[in-house]
Every structure is written in C-alpha cells, then in structure tokens.
Amino acid sequence: MPISEKERDELLSKISEKIESSAVLNGGFDKLVLAVDHIKEKQNQQTEKLDKLYDPDTGLFSRVKQLENDLQSLDKNFSTYTETNTQNFERIEEKLEKIESVNKTATDALGITKRLQRIAGEDLQDLNKTIELHKRFSNIYWALIALVITGLGNLIWQIVIRK
C-alpha cells in the first residue's frame, strides 16, 4: 500500500526531528572522539609515568635495590664494628683486671708499710721511697686506663660520624 504524500511528509518530518535531536549526530560523535583522544592522552601520560617507575637506572625498583644494597653494607659495617668493639672491651677488661691486681698490691704494700713503720723506725725513709715508687707505677697504670678509655671514646666517635 502506497503512502500518501501527507503521511510521507509527516514521516520525513519525524525522521528529521529524530536526526536533529540525536546527540550522536549533532556533535555527540565529535565529543565522543574528543573523549577518546583525551583518554588516549591520559593513558600515554600514565604509561610514561610507569616507564619512569620501572626505569632501570632511576625508577622505584632501582632505588629500592640501591637501598637494599646500602642496608647490607651498613649491616656488614655494623657487624665489623661490633666485633672490633667486643675485642676492645675484652682488652679493656683484661687491663682493668691488671689494674685491680696492681691496686690490691698497692693496698697490701701500704698496710705492710704501716706495720713496718711501727716496727722499723729508722728505715722509714727507705720504705717511703719504696712507697713512692709504687705510687708512680700506680699513676702509670691509671694513665694507661685513661689512654684506653680515650681510644674507646675516639672509636665510638668515629662510628657515630660515619653514620
């Protein structure tokens, strides 16, 4: 059945309205193309950022690897310093034991000297010279202790500076 001219005009009018009101055909497709281009641009930017992240020289993973290497180096240095400090402390303890022995000897000598002063009388000058000699050796031992403590302080200071 043929369509009348009036129906055809109405039908064409409706089609024309649909075409004119269609978002896709009235700039919508252009907007869609622009949106896709914008998405591509953003995706390219993200790809560049990811490439920088995975860069073998300056990326995140190379930095993490460098930090791991630094930590291993610090751990090795710390172990070395710990061993050295342990050895130094053992030497200091040995020297302190010697000093304590010398101190005990000095104390014993002082007691003996006092007893001898009561007994000896005239030989006191000789005994006083012996005591003075003993005091000098005691001072030498204290100087050695001070030297050891100074060396230990210097070692600790160097460790702190290297951190």
How far is the C-alpha of 107 from the C-alpha of 104, rounded, in Å? Answer: 5
What per-residue confidence (pLDDT) applies to 149?
A: 92
Torsion from C-alpha of 79, 80, 83, 84, nearest 10 degrees: -150
pLDDT reported for residue 109 = 87
Residue 5: what pLDDT?
Answer: 87
CA distances from 16 to 27, 77, 102 (A): 16, 83, 118
What's the CA gap between 126 and 124, in Å, rounded? 5
Residue 163: predicted pLDDT: 63
Residue 110 pLDDT: 87
Residues contacting 98, CB < 8 A, separation 6+: 141
Question: Taking the model in full, what pTM does it have?
Answer: 0.34
- 59 Cβ neighbours under 8 A, 6+ residues apart: 52, 53
* Per-residue pLDDT at 26: 61
Per-residue DSSP letter, 4: P
Q: Which two structure tokens, joined as six digits, stand for 77? A: 């240095």
pLDDT at 61: 78
Question: Averaged in consecutive runs of 10 residues, what is the pLDDT profile of the chain (163 residues)?
Answer: 82 82 67 85 88 78 85 86 86 89 88 74 73 85 90 90 77
Whole-number pLDDT of residue 40: 93
What CA–CA distances, in Å, run from 82 to 19, 77, 92, 152? 84, 8, 15, 13
